[in-house]
Amino acid sequence: MQLQAILHIPLSNYAYAVDEETLVIRIRTAKDDVKECNLFYGDRVCMHEPIDVEEIKMSKIASDQLFDYYECKIEDCYRRVCYYFQLRDVNETIYYCGAGFSEEMKCHRTQYFQFPYIRREDIPDVPDWASDIIMYHIFPDSFASGRRMLTEEGKEITLANGLSSKSRLGGTLKGVLQNLDYLDDLGVNCIYLNPIFEASEYHKYDTINYYEIDPCIGTKEDLKELVKEVHKRGMHIILDGVFNHSGSGFFAFQDVLKNGEKSKYKDWFYQLSFPIEYKEIPNYETFAYVKEMPKLNTGNQEVIDYFCNVGAYWIREMDIDGWRLDVANEINHDFWRAFRKAVRAVKKSTFLIAEIWEDSEVWLQGDQFDSAMNYTFSYLCRDFFANQSITVADFDEKIHHMLLRYPRNISLVQMNLLDSHDVPRFLSYCGGDREKLKLAMFYLFMSAGIPSVFYGDERLIEGVTEPEYRRSMVWKGDEKVLSMTALCKTWIHIRKKYEALRKGVYHTLLTEDQKGIYIFERIYQKQKLIILLHNQRGEESLEIPAEYVGHLYDLVQDAVVTENCMNIGEMEGRVFLVI
């Protein structure tokens, strides 16, 4: 047995509480090295010596080229738990606990792995509605200025402080409001808006006033009406908060520019040097190297208080449902802990999403964020569907790595995306190949995590450069556009109908590299769905196991599979309910 490959980390994504009575325990072993893995657990403060232990057989949940991953769930468990593992192969049995490996378990309970106490306060409190989200991501300037239309005319408005605000294409909050019927008909139930607060540039990431709506986009009354109508439809709305940096027009930075070292706001910003040099490469810290975006000192208590109040204000006054927080990984953890407490004090069901492009584990411990933008998902889909540069087995392996980064209840609410306002359109990555986009979109709605559609992906929008991928929404589409929109509507309907797609485990059934066939299942309670993807040109045939013949209901084609052989079209995705 390859002991060096075995890994368990207590109090991590390898050992976590789902609720006050349930623990999930995981362990990693070398691939195909262990024939059986069992967990033994007991009450840490058991009155008996040696303590009473119970045994659970662990199930293999994933594999990659190097490792196997096992998992079990302890239900109705003790509040205080100690545990160890029994690992068996053909020739030997090994025990593994906090003290290491042994051929016999002689260690005292104090040397077992420990889950000291299941505390309610330490269990991530994700809003109940989060796992049901089907998100539609809108870049306000590019979406709509009226019903099924956009002026595509930029404007510039002089603000009260003498600064100016710009738009590029003329999209407004009223435009979003007037197209809620379109979004409702599509089936999405959550709108995420890029920044709408008073700012200079069309993208609104250089905030001037955090307490005002940008006049190019609308008014507070427009937002209030939009939120009201969104909620009437049973939908939610999430705003974009930019607290890593402000715009140079922000009152505090304007005071610094005016008063220099004498400014009472000089400690609101990072690494200022005096006199301030407001030039192409400034002598103060910024977002990237953009002089118009000075970096805020979020370790300063006045700054923390100010932005906690901003976050709470828009929830209290407008009843928004959540925040997506920009550049979250460049802001200190204590700031986010304070921010979470502030907004949750106003509305306990507030959903918080971090803009973090990499592994976000340290931000997803239940004290800061509920979710993060899952760019890992987009990279994998780009490699597998768009570029077809990785095999089915590689894709499956990497997907499981992604899902195993966090506890399952956290993975289920990660914001999965194919593209966004910061990267080229997925259809452009596909070289304009609509069939590749269709299969990727199908997978987006069948996979584990929150599916997020960037406005117009369902309308076949392309774009490589920033102006292109933030181009106008396509409101008048040809047959190809309408067909793609109809497919998305169908897939969304299926996801909303079947809880297994929103809350179920993700288990691989088949990876067939030569044929480009990938089959996995989503299981929740007694509901099981099987998803099939064929990521190659040309048709293929697939033999159906006898136990499934007559028990697979095709949810798109509305038919039961009655044959033991199935033909699969090129670049096709199919979803079946096991009946």
Compute the residue count for the chain: 579
Please indicate, yes or no, if residue 550 is contained in any of the structural domains.
yes
Please indicate, yes or no, if residue 276 is contained in any of the structural domains.
yes
Contact criterion met (CB below 8 Å) for 426 and 457:
yes
CATH at 516: 2.60.40.1180
Last residue of a domain, one of 443, 469, 500: 500
Residue 345: what are its φ and ψ, rounded to 5°?
Answer: -70, -25
Q: Check whether residue 338 and residue 479 sit in a common domain.
A: yes
Q: Check whether residue 519 and residue 572 sit in a common domain.
A: yes
Q: Check whether residue 562 and residue 517 sit in a common domain.
A: yes
Contact criterion met (CB below 8 Å) for 519 and 509:
yes
User: How many Cα atoms are found within 13 Å in the side-chain-facing hemisphere of 126?
Assistant: 23
pLDDT at position 312 is: 99
Q: Check whether residue 288 and residue 184 sit in a common domain.
A: no
Residue 262: burial class (beta carbons within 10 Å; 0-12, 13-18, 19+): exposed
Q: Check whether residue 192 and residue 330 sit in a common domain.
A: yes
pLDDT at position 341 is: 98
Domain containing residue 270: 246-296
Q: Is the dihedral of CA 356, 361, 362, 363 positive or negative?
A: positive
Q: Is 239 helix (H, G, I), strand (E, B) or coil?
A: strand
Last residue of a domain, one of 121, 145, 174: 121
Please indicate, yes or no, if residue 315 is contained in any of the structural domains.
no
Please indicate, yes or no, if residue 356 is contained in any of the structural domains.
yes
Please indicate, yes or no, if residue 129 is contained in any of the structural domains.
no
Q: How far apart are CA 240 and CA 258, in angstroms?
A: 29
Q: Check whether residue 235 and residue 258 sit in a common domain.
A: no
CATH at 257: 3.90.400.10
Q: Check whether residue 410 and residue 486 sit in a common domain.
A: yes
CATH at 50: 2.60.40.10
Q: How far apart are CA 99 and CA 351, in angstroms?
A: 40
Q: Check whether residue 371 and residue 401 sit in a common domain.
A: yes
pLDDT at position 47 is: 86
Q: Check whether residue 217 and residue 364 sit in a common domain.
A: yes
Please indicate, yes or no, if residue 471 is contained in any of the structural domains.
yes
The catalytic residues are 326, 355
Instruction: Pick out the chain residues at pLDDT < 70.
Output: none
**Percent of the chain at pLDDT exceeding 90:** 96
* Exposure string over 350-360, b if 16+ CB within 10 A, otherwise e: bbbbbbbbeeb
Please indicate, yes or no, if residue 127 is contained in any of the structural domains.
no
Q: Check whether residue 174 and residue 113 sit in a common domain.
A: no
Query: Domain total for the chain?
Result: 4
pLDDT at position 271 is: 87
Last residue of a domain, one of 87, 121, 155: 121
Please indicate, yes or no, if residue 195 is contained in any of the structural domains.
yes
Q: Check whether residue 398 and residue 530 sit in a common domain.
A: no
Q: Check whether residue 443 and residue 332 sit in a common domain.
A: yes
